[in-house]
Structure 1
Amino acid sequence: MRRNYLPGDIIGKMGIEKMAERLLRPRRGIQRFKHPGEVDYEEAAKDGRDIHLTIDIELQRLLTERMRRSGYNGSIVLLSVPSGDVLAMVSCPTYDLNTYRKKYNDLAGISRDPDNPENLSATAQWSRINLPLLNRAVGGAYPTGSTVKPITALGGLGAGKITPNSIITCTGFYRTIDSKPRFRCWIYKLPQKMHPPLDLVGGLKNSCNIYFYEVGNRLGWRVLTDWLKWAGFGELAGTGLPEERTGVVATEEYLHRYKNRGFVPSDAWLMAIGQGIFDATPLQVANAHATIARDGVFLSPRISLEGAPPQVRRNLPVPEDYVRKIREGMYAVVNEPGGTAFKHWRNARPRLDVRVCGKTGTAETSPQRIDSDGDGRRDKIVRKGDHAWFAGFAPYKNPQIAFAVIAEYAGSGGKHAVPIAKDVLRICRKLGYLRSK
């Protein structure tokens, strides 16, 4: 009997059940007989321990329903700022735990058409596109788009490359002495073509790519990657869930192993705006914004009160008044005319009496391709477009919750993710997680 298991025993293979298998599993009793009928040694059976999660089941249910109503695949993550507890962790589409074993082949995308066994069933084909078994909150790695810009700003301030008053001029394109103007600001498509000269708050409010290209250039790839890692990117979030992915931060080792090259200056520029060789999970994005809400204190997220790794706490080397300027910029994103979330936040009725800080993101990404004919090549595009993000925290003055919302292939973060996030915060207000102001 190896490790208290016998043939036919059920074992946790995913999620909390795998993480806490050692605690959840009961221990069988033992009787040892010296002679028939004569017990030489006896050990009583022991029940497994209960595991208490930080998830609010009603909040989880309501947010899952809201994500479903959006019509998009995606994720919503909600964290307690003071404790780092995961309050909700939504991944859509999902599945019914009561029918998981019965429908596993459908969910895994391997069931066959009963009328034509050479072909996948319609349900399996749907699953191969929509991936219901993927826990997007911790296992989906996405380009973050502009949601990473507050962290880039944190690095620029902490490394002394900018101050809150540093002015950077947007010309619509970014060029250095030895580069062609290939890197554009998103505003180049609009009639004005460029932003006015911007300080830190203006750079965040307008989500100016040129501002953050320049911050990334001043930092350089090595220092920028250090700051991204200090904020929790490129490493496991720390919940202990086996589905966690580290995401990608373009280190020198990564580039040599997977790209067969070293760094070029544009790697830092693109990472600074959440593009290029950089991606992250929704949980990592939410926790990075929680770090800003704590005035630069990183705390790894916690989902279980038992069986999880110990929480990691570290102070990022940035003065608190600098971090508060980042929060001021994130407040302007949502609450001031011209902010990238302002119009869509204001138009998403009804009104919310909580002041929110946030950052939109519209992340360019590759189309999703599948193998359409079983020859091993992903030859068919099934989804394409930009990922829509909105992340932040609330309330402004005394943050209690941090959040991240991603809608896959939805388009503009302001247009598609902001209304979902506003409903998320309305639900939090209703359930008592937020006070006004």
Structure 2
Amino acid sequence: MSRPLRDTRAARKLFAGRALVAGVLVFLLFSVIAARLAWLQIVNHEHFATLSDQNRIRLVPVPPTRGQIFDRKGVLLAGNLASFHLEITPEQVGSHAQMEALLEQLKTLIELSDSEINRFRRLLRRSPRYNGVPLRFNLTEDEMARVAINQFRLPGVDIRNDLTRTYPLGTHMAHVVGYVGRIDEQELARLDPAEYSGSSHIGKIGVEKSYEDVLRGKVGYQQVETNAQGRVIRVLESTPPTAGRNVYLTIDSRVQRVAELALSEANFNGAIVAIDPRNGELIAMASNPSYDPNPFVNGIDAKSYKALNTSPDRPLYNRALRGMYPPGSTIKPFMGLAGLAYNAVDRYSSIFCGGYFQLPGQDHKFRDWRRGGHGRTDLDRAITESCDVYFYDLALELGIDRIGAFLGQFGFGKPTGIDLRNEKSGLLPSQDWKRRTYNQAWFPGDTVSVGIGQGYLLVTPLQLASATATLAMGGRRFQPRIVHALEDPALRRITELPAVALPSVAAPDRRIFEWVTAFMTHVVHSERGTAFRAVGKFSAYRIAGKTGTAQVFTVGQNERYDASRLKDELLDHALFMAFAPADAPRIAVAVIAENGGHGGSVAAPLAKKVMDAYLLPTNAAGAPAGASPPP
């Protein structure tokens, strides 16, 4: 049987149809590809070119050099040292699991504490993934070598060189200068990222915090080209950072050291504040005990911080700025001025002091420190011998409203306005204050207690020094300040800050300041004065001062104060305020020695050491020539 012949014509027709369909499909596919290429390369060229560049070009912040802090004479108080730190860029590491594995691997190379790792994880949550996050600061040469050798196994890990803050004088001036520390989670949430890009530290307290905007500088940027591993190949463009300005304090570090040593060698917690009454500049502001700020820079360990924070001596507490104490008898010159200003007394009017004072119709006795009393006493003798009864009587005559109005003019009861943060305001009580605070009426006995610096009245050492400076200047006031000048490090140009005058104390006769000043010189230079034995006998210049002893607890009506039977923390505070030279004041000082007992024998000699250091010429050893011998 023969086969049918193949229909070649039909076969060719079928092939041609199929080829046509295939050709159309190929054409359509190439048209889609061409359209897509045109959309990518023409329509959206700029967008994708930018993405491509960002894949190989990064904008890296360059932190500025932090300004340095000097004392008035150029002694370095806070500077910068070259150091190396380890940081990790999250986007180069990968997932969370890979990051944890990397941290475990780093633990085998360098020592990493739990606090460092926990802080790193907190910053990791807040930082962009393309920014490096610091993990460990101040790497040793050995640690850098171990990381460098293994760096090919450590994706995203880099060692950066930078400057770390250092405080070369350690505990000296720690409460004034303060310290910087790592930016914490709360600070990171509120800070402007543009201002702190690339920065890991910020001022925490003291001048470092109060002048953060001045010291910080302005961040710069580098546009860098990187390889596939994120390593920098070259810098394409650079905007240099602007260094922070240097800060010169009003403090004389030599006088400051004398103040600090005076307190520590006498073994008293407390504060000494010295001010130039002519312009409000602080000469010294010491708080004892102190602490070393250096461990705080890159994170103090938990054990050391707990020891500082729980110490009963409270070394982290700035007593000069935040401590609030009854002023005791140091308030009496101001009370005397109030009495003269309101014509409640004159310089010659007197009362009889029999050792106690009683309110009309009451049995309670407000006792004088001298059990037998002072006899017939005028304002001169009342200040010189510190007669309590005179000022009980004067306070009752004035009333709390007039006392508050007059003392308020010296800055009591409100912050002085010093250029440091976290200043306490003290307490200048009033009838309204007691009603708001205790829901009680103001009693005459409350006024009597205020008259000798007890009761509700509280002052800070800074307030007392500022008020003393105002008295020294005959009622003229200047705002206390800690910074003397700012320096542009690039131009080496120093700009001094002007003194800030405050409203003067209102007085009908300016001679009242001269009278009270004369009475205060009797405190120191008269044999009847409460500071004569400890200070006046050894002074090479005239001092106007007032001793003070402030009760820590109340002695019962029929009991006697016996220091030998009390615990140290219940002993009276010792205070002294003074200015010198009395006829042309250049320094005003306030001293508080906690639980020191007597202002004349304890606090006054401490103030004398500070005034000697400032006013007397120094010998070759640096000690004041003619300094007073110990009492």
- TM-score normalised to structure 2 length: 0.59
Return the offset for 1:155.
1.2
Q: Is the aligned partner of 1:20 residue 2:211?
A: yes
Q: Is the 8 A contact 1:333 1:341 kept in 2?
A: yes
Residue 31 of structure 1 deviates from its aligned partner by 7.3
1:259-274 map, 5 Å: 259-274=438-453
SS in 2 for 1:75: strand
1:382 to 1:107, Cα distance in 2 relative to 1, 3 A: farther
**Which secondary structure state, in structure 1, belongs to the residue aligned with residue 539 of structure 2?**
coil
Aligned twin of 2:32: none
Aligned to 2:377: 198
Tell me the equivalent position of 2:342.
Answer: 159
Instruction: Give, in whole Å, the separation in 1 of the partners of 2:574 and 2:421.
Output: 26
**In 1, distance between residues paired with 2:485 and 2:300?**
30
Q: Which of residues 483, 486, 505 is equivalent to 1:316? A: 505
| Superposition RMSD in Å | 2.8
Q: Which runs of 5+ in 2 are unaligned?
A: 1-191, 225-236, 487-496, 555-566, 619-623
Match of 1:371 in 2: none
Q: Which whole-Å CA distance do the structure 1 matches of 2:349 and 2:300 have between them?
A: 57
Structure 1 residues 206 and 271 mapped into 2: Cα distance closer, same or farther (>3 Å)? same
Q: Distance in 2 between matches of 1:139 and 1:17?
A: 17
The one-letter code matched in structure 1 to 2:280 is G
Deviation digits for residues 95-149 of structure 1, max 9, x if unmatched? 12223456575665x25xxxxxxxxxxx665x2x101011111111111100111
Equivalent residue for 1:89? 285
Distance across 2 between alignment mates of 1:161 and 1:3: 61
- Give the match for residue 75 of structure 1: 271
User: How far is the alpha carbon of 1:204 from its aligned partner?
Assistant: 0.4
**Which of 402, 418, 442 in structure 2 is aligned with 1:239?**
418
**Structure 1 pair 107/306, CA: closer, same or farther in 2 (3 Å)?**
farther
**Retained in 2: the 8 A contact 1:149–1:204?**
yes
Asked whether the 8 Å contact 1:234–1:247 carries over to 2, the reply is yes
The CA deviation at 1:43 is: 6.0
1:186 to 369, 377, 391: 369
Match of 2:196 in 1: 5
Partner Cα separation in structure 2 for residue 177 and residue 196 of structure 1: 20
| C-alpha contact 1:400 1:434 (8 A) present in aligned 2 | no
Residues 395, 435 of structure 1: 8 Å contact kept: no
Partner residue, 2:531: 341
Structure 1 residue 230 corresponds to structure 2 residue 409: yes
Instruction: Identify the residue that residue 146 of structure 1 maps to in structure 2.
Output: 329
- TM-score for both structures, normalised by structure 1: 0.84
Offset, 1:335: 0.7
Bigger relative contact order, structure 1 or 2 (CA pairs below 8 A, ≥6 apart): 1
* 1:360 counterpart = 2:547: yes
Secondary structure, aligned partner of 1:343: coil
Note the alpha carbon deviations across 1:318-339, whole angstroms, 9 max, x for none: 2221111100110111111111
Q: 1:9 to 1:99 in 2, by over 3 A?
A: closer
Please report how far the alpha carbon of residue 262 of structure 1 lies from its aligned counterpart in structure 2 after TM superposition.
2.4
1:402 to 588, 595, 598: 588
2:579 pairs, out of 389, 393, 396, with 393
Q: Does 2:220 align with 1:29?
A: yes
Q: Separation in 1 of the partners of 2:222 and 2:432?
A: 55
Taking the aligned partners of 2:428 and 2:295, their CA distance within structure 1 comes to 38
Secondary structure at 1:187 match in 2 = coil
Larger radius of gyration: 2
- State how far apart, in whole Å, the 2-side matches of 1:366 and 1:28 are: 54
3-state SS of the aligned residue for 2:503?
strand
Preserved contact between residue 541 and residue 580 of structure 2 (Cα < 8 Å): yes
SS at match of 1:397: coil
Q: Distance in 1 between matches of 2:301 and 2:446?
A: 41
Kept after mapping to 2: 8 A contact 1:172/1:187: yes
C-alpha distance in 2 between matches for 1:265 and 1:305: 45
Matched, 1:294 2:473: yes
The aligned counterpart of 1:36 is none
Q: What secondary structure is seen at the aligned counterpart in 2 of 1:204? A: helix
In structure 2, do the counterparts of structure 1 residues 354 and 142 end up closer, same or farther at CA, with 3 Å as the change threshold? same
5+ long unaligned stretches in structure 1: 34-40, 112-122, 368-380
Contact 1:389 1:404 in 2 (8 A): yes
1:354·1:435 contact (CA, 8 Å) conserved in 2?
no
Query: 1:57, 1:346 → 2: CA distance?
Result: 26
Return the match for 1:59 from 223, 243, 255. Answer: 255
**Number of the residue aligned with 1:420:** 606
Q: Distance in 1 between matches of 2:375 and 2:616?
A: 40
Deviation at 1:7, TM superposition (A): 7.3
Secondary structure of the residue aligned to 1:342 is coil
Instruction: Judge conservation of contact 2:258–2:609 (CA < 8 Å) in 1.
Output: no
For residues 362 and 197 of structure 2, what CA distance do their matches in structure 1 show?
Answer: 65
Deviation of the 1:64 alpha carbon: 1.1
> Secondary structure at 1:156's aligned position in 2?
helix
- Kindly indicate whether residue 615 of structure 2 is the aligned counterpart of residue 429 of structure 1: yes
Corresponding residue SS for 1:323: helix
**2: CA distance, partners of 1:414 / 1:312:** 32
Deviates more, 1:393-402 or 1:310-319: 310-319
Matched residues, number: 397
CA 324–382 in structure 1, closer or farther in 2 if over 3 Å, else same: closer
Q: How far 1:32 sits from its partner (Å)?
A: 9.1
Q: Calculate percent identity across the aligned residue pairs.
A: 34
Bigger shift: residues 264-273 or 420-429:
420-429
Deviates more, 1:289-298 or 1:87-96: 289-298
